[in-house]
Each structure stands twice: as structure tokens, then as C-alpha cells.
Amino acid sequence: MGAELLQCHVQTGQCAVGAALYLALHANERPLTTSELSDGLGFSVSHLENVLASLGKHDIVTSRRGLGGGYRLSQPAGAISIAAILLAVRSLSRGSDISMGVGSVTEARQITDTFLMALDSRAMNYLAQISLLDLIENRFATKHF
């Protein structure tokens, strides 16, 4: 995985977790618009719209159009894991994979890919234990990787 792709994954994940967390922190208020989320998080409205659409397809957020519309979490913050959020947006940066070129994959690339897949699996297992509520209440530090 190239540095550019990794950065794309990180930015998309940061946007998704940030948006869900922002919605959780404002759960007792009216639905929030993409403009409000953009102002609060510093991501572009267009990027947030893509992320929120993906989160909506995975039942993490709900939206309502029109006057008074916007986004809310579709479940309580304690029921939404960080892994679920990241898995929901994973496909947004998949299409931008960086090719090694024509020919066989090098042994170094195979070893690197195997390592990164194992790391990804372990990280996702850890993140499945952490909910948005855990982040809000700063309880994630007590979970073991």
C-alpha cells in the first residue's frame, strides 16, 4: 500500500469517525447539516456527503431532507463501534489502489501485504470493542490491543 493510499484511508476514516462522534456529542440537539459538520470538523462538504452516504447505507446515521433536516446517529452512541464506522467507509478509498506495474508481485510486496492484512485484522478486532460512547467518556484507554 503506497503512502498516498494510506493517507486517503486515514483521512476518510478520520472524517467518518469525526462525523459520527460530532453527531454523538450533539445527539440531544436538532439534526446537523453537512455545512455544520464541515465547519465543526474541517472537512469539505462534498467529502462529508460521500462519507455520510456510506454511513447511512450501513445504518450508522440517518438523514432527513428539507427544512430542519440533517443527520443524526441511527443508534445510541454505545451501540456503534469504531470498527463498524471504518468498515462502512472502507470502500470509499478502495478504488484508488496504487499499482506496482505489469508483472509479478515481488516477494517484498507479498510479505508487506500479508503483514498489513494481519495488522488490519488485529486493529479492527480492537476497534470493534470501542464505541463512540467509549470515546466520549475516554474509556478507550482501558481496552487492550
* Percent of the chain surpassing pLDDT 90: 53
**Residue 63, H or E segment:** strand 61-64
Cell for 75?
A: 443508534
pLDDT of residue 105: 67
Q: Amino acid letter at 77?
A: A
The boundaries of the domain holding residue 129 are 3-96+105-142
Question: Per the structure, how many domains does the chain have?
Answer: 1
**Residue among 114, 96, 102, 115 nearest 4 (CA):** 96
CATH of the domain at 28: 1.10.10.10
What are the pLDDT digits (tens) for 37-90?
999 999 999 999 999 999 999 999 999 998 889 999 999 999 999 999 999 998
Q: Which residue has the cell 438523514?
A: 63
Cα 19 from chain centroid? 8
Query: Structure pTM?
Result: 0.81
List Cβ neighbours of 141 (8 Å cut-off, separation of 6 or more): none
